[in-house]
Amino acid sequence: MRRVTWIGRAVTLLVATGVVVSIVSTVGSQAGANNARTVGDKGASSFFPKSPEQSAFHDQMRKLWEDHVTWTRLTIVSAVAGLPDTGPTLDRLQANQDDIGAAIAPYFGQAAGDRLAALLHEHISGAVRLVLAAKAGDTDEVAAAKDAWYANGQQIAEFLAAANPRYWPLDTMSETMRMHLDQTLQEAVDRLQGDYAADIQDYDAAHLHILEMADLLSFGIIRRFPDQFQQ
């Protein structure tokens, strides 16, 4: 697992100065509207596991992505409050990205699993680059970091679509990833601004959306590799 406690320390230091609010707001302005939308493949939304093996995989994928949004939330809460568990919490969040990569490796190969994990590590650390650029007062770097974070989300969408285009079409994966980014940023904005009621609603929306995304992924793998799941 990658050690990223330096990121936790940087986030804790910088959120205390209030820098994050202005930067996260610039990339999350459309998140509120997007929270109301539902993204997902109709096949995935109507798919139900038909065997113990399918059910176990479906539940595993949900657990991994629930961990993703849960540990993201805990990292936001700890960083905003300046709690001493920020570093270990962020380490746990980064470990989850390795777990997600490992989950697809049996189907798409170890190299694919490693690539997805690497993209997801960038996904987690990308917002930190925005904060560090803001602290330095480097407006050009802020703009570049914002573009890079969303570009990484698109890379993840393109990676998944290329791996399984029939069941994970690019337009669906792109919209799914962008909504996830928007919702996460809105959650951070509301937490930092002390709007805890909205913050809670943000997390509920992000949680529901990530379950849709998990179901889309498990549906796609089960349909693509039916022989690996007993019917």
Q: How far apart are CA 9 and CA 5, in angstroms?
A: 6
**Contact in structure between 143 and 129 (CB atoms under 8 Å):** no
The H-assigned helical ranges of 46-138 are: 52-81, 86-108, 110-136
Token readout for 99 is 């777990």
Tens digit of pLDDT at every position of the chain (231 positions): 444 444 444 444 444 444 444 444 444 444 444 444 444 455 555 667 788 999 999 999 999 999 999 998 888 788 778 789 988 988 999 999 999 999 999 999 999 999 999 999 999 887 656 544 544 566 787 678 778 888 999 999 999 999 999 999 999 999 999 999 889 878 877 877 789 999 999 999 999 999 999 999 999 999 999 999 875
Q: Which amino acid is present at 132?
A: L
What residue has token string 């939330």?
A: 73
Domain ranges of the chain: 5-225
- What distance in Å separates the CA atoms of residue 108 and residue 43, rounded to the nearest whole number? 21
Question: Could you identify the residue written with the tokens 């697992």?
Answer: 1
Residues in the chain: 231
Radius of gyration of the chain from Cα atoms?
Answer: 18
- Alpha-carbon distance of 183 to 126, in angstroms, equals 15
